[in-house]
Amino acid sequence: MKISAAEVAHVAALARLRLSDEQSEKLTEQINDILAAMDRLNELDTSGVPSTNHALELTGAMRPDQVAPGLDHQRALANAPASDGQSLVVPKVI
Partner 1 sequence: MTSSLHDLTLLEARALLDQRQVSSLELTQALLARIEAIEPQVHAYLTVTTELALDMARAADQVLAQGQGGPLTGIPAGIKDVICTQGVATTCASKILAGFVPPYDATLVARLKAAGMVLLGKHNMDEFAMGSSTENSGFFTTHNPWDLAAIPGGSSGGSAASVAAGSALFAVGTDTGGSIRQPASHCGVVGLKPTYGLVSRRGLVAFASSLDQAGPLARTVADAAQVLSVIAGHDPADSTSAPRPVPDYTAALERGVKGLKLGVVQEFFAAGLDPEVEAAVRAALTVLQAQGAELVEVSLPHTDYALPVYYIIAPAEASSNLARYDGVKYGLSLRAPQGDLMDMYLDTRSQGFGPEVIRRIMLGTYALSAGYYEAYYGKAGQVRTLIKQDYLDAFQQVDALLGPVAPTPAFDIGQKTGDPLQMYLSDICTLSVNLAGLPGISVPCGLAASGRPIGLQIIGPHFAEETLLAVGHAYQQASDHHLRRPPL
| Residues near partner 1, by CB under 8 A | 1, 3, 7-8, 10-12, 14-19, 23, 27, 30-31, 33-34, 37-42, 44, 46, 49-56, 58, 60-61, 63, 71, 75-76, 78-82, 88, 90-93
Minimum distance, C-beta of residue 24 to partner 1, in the bound complex (Å): 10
DSSP 25-65: HHHHHHHHHHHHHHGGGGGS--TTPPP-SSSS---------
Is residue 31 within 8 A of residue 2, CB to CB? The reply is no
Minimum distance, C-beta of residue 85 to partner 1, in the bound complex (Å): 15
Minimum distance, C-beta of residue 75 to partner 1, in the bound complex (Å): 4
